[in-house]
Structure 1
Amino acid sequence: MEPEAATGRAANTGPEPATETGPEPAAQAARHEASPASSRLGAVLAVLSIVLMAACLRPAATSLGPVLAEVEAAFGLQGWQAGLLTALPGAAYVVFGAVAFLVLRRLGMFRALLLCVVAIAVGLLVRVLGDSWAAFAGFTTLALAGMAMGNVVLPVYVKARFPTAQTRAVTVFMMALGLGAALPTLLTAPAADVLGGWRPGLGLWAALPVLALVVWLALRGLGPTPDLGARTPASSGARPRPITASRGVWALTLYFGLQSLHAYVQFGWAAQIYRDAGLDPVTAGLMVTIIVAGGIPGGFIAPQIVARGRHVRPVLVGYAIAAMGGYAGLLLAPTTLPWLWAVGLAVGGFSFPSALALITVRTRRPEVTARTSGFVQPVGYLLAAVGPLLLGVVLEATGSWEVPLVALLVLAGLMGLAAWIAGAPGSVDAELEPVRDADAADGVDAAAEDADVGGR
């Protein structure tokens, strides 16, 4: 696998990626060529590390809901305390996702991901051992911090480690992410019944980051970890443009934020919408499971469509149309074919793996991938966090689901428009070409635009 990686780096128009032991990719590739068995083992461990670490990035958020009532009873929580626990994931995405790029630049790829995995493991395990609600919330926050930073850093590792196998690597990452979200939702409550309580039911998910840590350390023992590309040399007189100078980044941010808004609304309110329409709690919960489980096939299908670059924009808009169909069904006939509306929302949820895949595909160099991901995700999640709150306000003001569902229909249409813009050909790298001084900025912009149009 490493010889391929070396070839991919040589073909890259950007600077050579450095490892944490020094920028010597040619020597590194030669060492791996001399040991084919070590190279094959390294490739297997690299894929396994992606699977395990991606699966770690959701249980801290999705495992709590099925046993939230038991946690409330155990700690005697008031309503605001339970509400705070459910709001922590969104806050963690915004706060810790925003500093993930700085952590990556300071610690390097290996230590940054090591920090993420350790934080998740310690947080998931220790939070179930104490008798204090403050300790439970604190260690949940620690796990969510590792999860939020891993959201930003892990796609960069995928980009750097498999430069010539992007489609397969991103597909593996997204499928593992979907499983890591769906399985805790489905299995935490049954596991709590079998194991004797909510504490072991929640604590068992700490096994995932522990396994990921073992594999990550074993992979490190075989050689250095690919890292970010070097910065533009200061001697050239050039300076990098800010990430906000890219129109593509703003389009990706809007698309990511809107699809996250829909996901948060569905996870938080879909069951209540079904129950208010007349479904029993079990059936309503099953509908939500259908919506969440859509992340598994979506994690397989969506990244491949984005990475192959064929009919990307119409497909992305199609996901938004499916979501609009789901909301329209909930508005007009929620109990007639409830599973069909859930399937529509699940297909609309394919927008999440598509948005993450676009971050990887629309960037060439790992450092640009990191900067883009470090901006798009926190800002997008900040937009998403407002959605459920405003929906609750509108619901209380109107007393019915009619106005909120119409609003969600409109927002799904806006998501389709954002998807069309974000799915346009071109790369963020071209928009961020360094400039020598402020007076030259307009000329560089024009050149980047010309290159982009030519590439289309």
Structure 2
Amino acid sequence: MNTSPQHSYRTGRGLDLLALASIILIACSLRPAASSLGPVLSEVNAAFALAEWQTGLLTALPGLIFAICGFIAVPFLKRLGLFRSLLFSCALIVVGVGTRAFVDGWLLFAGLTILALAGMSLGNVILPVFVKSRFPDRTSLAATAFTVSLGLGSMFPAFLTAPIAAQSDNWRVGLGVWALVPTCALVTWIVLKLARSIPSLDRSAEEAHGARPPRRHIYVSPKARYMAMFFGLQSVNAYVQFGWVPQIYRDAGIDPVLAGVMLTIVTFGGIPGGFLAPQIIMRGILPRFFLVTFAVSAVLGYLGLLLVPTTMPALWAIFLAYGGFAFPAALALITGRTTDVSITARTSAFVQSSGYVLAAIGPLAVGGLLGLSGGWSVPLWFMVAVSVLMGVTGYLAGSPGTVDEELASPEDRNAPAGRLGGTADR
């Protein structure tokens, strides 16, 4: 068992496995509050006698809260530190998810949902910082665990909430059971702290070597701006698909059950994508080529739905699923295209907060276009254009170099080699 000289945290095989388990459990906690609601939304509507605007607000909350709270995550991290920040994130999720299942008023239900989403939003931004700082030499492994677990945290609640609610004959059980995951994450995180295996971020790696990290605002970096646009455009794709793909298939004349199967195919893409996309980015395996192929695949999927939706419908779903590899790739870019952990934190906050603004707007735009045009042609052409732009920004975001280098002052650029940590495009 060793102690890192740079960050003063204990390491070792057992502690590394515990840290990896913490990443997996926290990442699995960052989606269920959102993905478990849809399967029992009808029951929630009936229980609280919701108006249409109230239902619409509940479904729009994830993107809105992720965007708003993402901006405060870095100041929150600086003030509380890594351990207390993620502790607070997990605690908010536990309280929000666990308590909302037992309340009787809609306002309290919505407020507790916001509480859980706020915790998820903080975790979205801060967990990549832990990934980067705790596994500096094995970031690819930790990033893969992070992205795969995010996919699992989205998929399992979406699939299992309704069966659990049906088995117990109570929708509240179907929602409340997902508080178990962040509870386990909370316990594991505390144990990891007691084992003194969580990095202290009082000093970054650069400061430990006598260099001062860049202080210019993150949007000065072109790479960070392209990453934010890429993240936002892929988020538009994801949220539109989750909300509208089954209806697109049903409006084309496909059986509702089969339409649900098509959405299952689309969402399942997050699992292999979570394994493969971080490896592509972190190991530099033709990253720009693959980022463009994700966009091309999404374009083909939308064109199939537009032109021949009932001909080989599973093929269009598979194309959209491969296009969904863009999400874990976008997350991997945050750690793969930054060096200093303070820059990772700032980039994560900027990319995700900006991106989720688009994620909140995209489904509303598609709904508006559908209402104005009276059919799916205009909305699907809109999504083709979104996917093309996703390919362009992905190509630019995946270029060699790091955000750190673009933020560096002229003095830092002239510093001896090794002072800034090197490039991410290996």
TM value normalised by structure 2: 0.93
Offset, 1:41? 2.6
Corresponding residue for residue 144 of structure 2: 171
- Counterpart secondary structure, 1:227: coil
1:257 paired to 2:232: yes
Instruction: Say whether residues 1:54 and 2:31 are aligned partners.
Output: no
Q: Quick one: which amino acid aligns to residue 212 of structure 1? A: A
8 Å contact from structure 2 (residues 266, 317) kept in 1 = yes
Identity %: 51
Structure 2 residue 49 is matched with structure 1 residue 76:
yes
Q: What is the SS of the residue equivalent to 2:338?
A: coil
Instruction: Give the conservation status (yes or no) of the 8 Å contact 2:19–2:197.
Output: no
Is residue 97 of structure 2 the alignment partner of residue 124 of structure 1?
yes
Unaligned runs of 5+ in 2: none
Distance 1:57 1:64 in 2: 14
Distance 2:408 2:149 in 1: 34
Structure-2 separation of matches of 1:453 and 1:364: 8
* 1:319 equivalent in alignment to 2:282: no
Q: Which of 206, 216, 233 is matched with 2:189 structurally?
A: 216
CA–CA distance in 1 between the matches of 2:141 and 2:83? Answer: 22
The residue identity in structure 1 corresponding to 2:348 is: S
DSSP 3-state at the match of 2:201: strand
The residue type equivalent to 2:402 in the other structure is S
Q: Distance in 1 between matches of 2:241 and 2:393?
A: 20
- One of 115, 121, 128 as aligned partner of 1:148: 121
Deviates more, 1:328-337 or 1:279-288: 279-288
Structure 2: distance between partners of 1:238 and 1:215: 31
Partner of residue 304 from structure 2, selected from 329, 334, 347:
329
Q: In the alignment, what sits opposite 2:203?
A: 230
Correspondence 1:41-440 to 2 at 5 A: 41-228=14-201, 230=203, 240-434=215-409
Quote the offset at 1:236 in angstroms. Answer: 8.8
- The whole-number CA distance in structure 1 between the counterparts of 2:331 and 2:123 is 13
Max Rg structure:
1
Pairwise CA distance, 1:452: 8.8
RMSD over aligned Cα, in angstroms?
A: 2.4
Q: C-alpha deviations, 1:380-404, integer Å up to 9, x for none?
A: 1112221111111111111111111
Please tell me whether the aligned partners of residues 256 and 355 of structure 1 are also in contact (alpha carbons under 8 angstroms).
yes
Is the alpha carbon distance of 1:455 and 1:238 closer, same or farther for their aligned partners in structure 2, counting shifts above 3 Å? closer
* Inter-CA distance 215–270: structure 2 relative to 1 (3 Å threshold): same
- Cα contact 1:229–1:365 (8 A) shared by 2: no
Deviates more, 1:378-387 or 1:85-94: 378-387
- What is the alpha-carbon distance in structure 2 between the residues aligned to residue 319 and residue 236 of structure 1? 38
Residue 285 of structure 1 aligns to a residue whose secondary structure is helix
**Counterpart-to-counterpart distance in 1, 2:372 and 2:422:** 48
- Matched residue type, 1:158: V
Counterpart residue identity of residue 407, structure 1 = F
Size of the aligned set, in residue pairs, is 420
Could you say what secondary structure the match of 2:200 adopts? strand
What is the rounded CA distance, in whole Å, between the counterparts of 1:205 and 1:454 in structure 2?
37
Query: Residues 201, 239 of structure 1: CA spacing in aligned structure 2 closer, same or farther, 3 A cutoff?
Result: closer
Deviating runs (4+, > 6 A) in structure 1?
235-239, 451-456
> Aligned pair in 2 of structure 1 residues 237, 228: CA closer, same or farther (>3 Å)?
closer
Is the Cα contact below 8 Å between 1:273 and 1:401 reproduced in 2?
yes
CA drift at 1:2? 5.0
Contact 1:241–1:435, Cα closer than 8 Å, also in 2: no
CA 111–175 in structure 1, closer or farther in 2 if over 3 Å, else same: same
